[in-house]
Amino acid sequence: MKKTKAIILISGNGTNLSNIIENIKSGFIKMDIFMVISNNSKAKGLNIAENHNIASMIIDTNESFDYVLSDIVDKNNIDLLILAGFMKILPKIITDKYDGKIINIHPSLLPKHKGLDTHKKVIKAKDKFHGASVHYVTSELDGGPIIIQGKYKVDQYDEEIIKKNIHMIEYQILPIAIKWFVENNIVKLGNKFSFNGEILECPIEHILKN
């Protein structure tokens, strides 16, 4: 079977990228990272790519972003685009063209708190639960079918603590979603997705491991 070729898009620290690399090394995910793309030349995640000998590229999202990205994807037969802390909205031309092949990690229990500053929103609303979601990317911001979610009961309304807790959840659910994609367990079908051939009406809830 052909090994899945992925591009990972980042904007910042890249701790999710690092976690994906560890999951590939351990054999949990059988995938090649073809390239790491950042819209931010100062993203620390670029050093992580370099340290692991993964090709990287900085793309200016203001100019011909869609053309450059789709050229790389098409010429290199890329199977999967993973947004792992990528803070730019992908143009509709890209989300439509690669429908079903783009996934994103979002730091909230979608459909709650789409967009930015999700931890602040949770603090403001005094939400009892918070979590993270992996979803397919469509032209609707943070609106594509949700594949998997992990949640926890918020006990401290402190942004730094919340951020740490959410990262711990992300490090569990993103590799699982990638593994399901790579092993063809999940397939996007319009605004739903199937798991092993069965259409699911709601996201899969991940039980957190300590």
CA distance linking residue 132 with residue 110, whole number of Å: 8
To the nearest whole angstrom, how small is the minimum distance from the Cβ of residue 16 to ligand GRF?
3
Instruction: Give the footprint of ligand GRF on this chain (CB under 6 A).
Output: 10, 12-16, 45, 84-85, 105-107, 166-167, 170
135 labelled catalytic: no
To the nearest whole angstrom, how small is the minimum distance from the Cβ of residue 84 to ligand GRF?
5
What are 73's two structure tokens?
């994807």
CA distance linking residue 18 with residue 45, whole number of Å: 8
Judged by beta carbon, residue 71 or residue 161, the one nearer ligand GRF is 161
Judged by beta carbon, residue 110 or residue 166, the one nearer ligand GRF is 166
Reply yes or no: is the peptide bond before residue 111 cis, omega within 30 of 0. Answer: yes
Judged by beta carbon, residue 52 or residue 183, the one nearer ligand GRF is 52
Indicate the angle between helix axes 159-182 and 118-125, nearest 10 degrees.
Answer: 120
User: What single letter denotes the amino acid at residue 174?
Assistant: L
CA distance linking residue 90 with residue 52, whole number of Å: 26
To the nearest whole angstrom, how small is the minimum distance from the Cβ of residue 159 to ligand GRF?
12
Exactly one of 52, 106, 113, 167 is catalytic; which is it? 106
Q: Which residues are catalytic?
A: 106
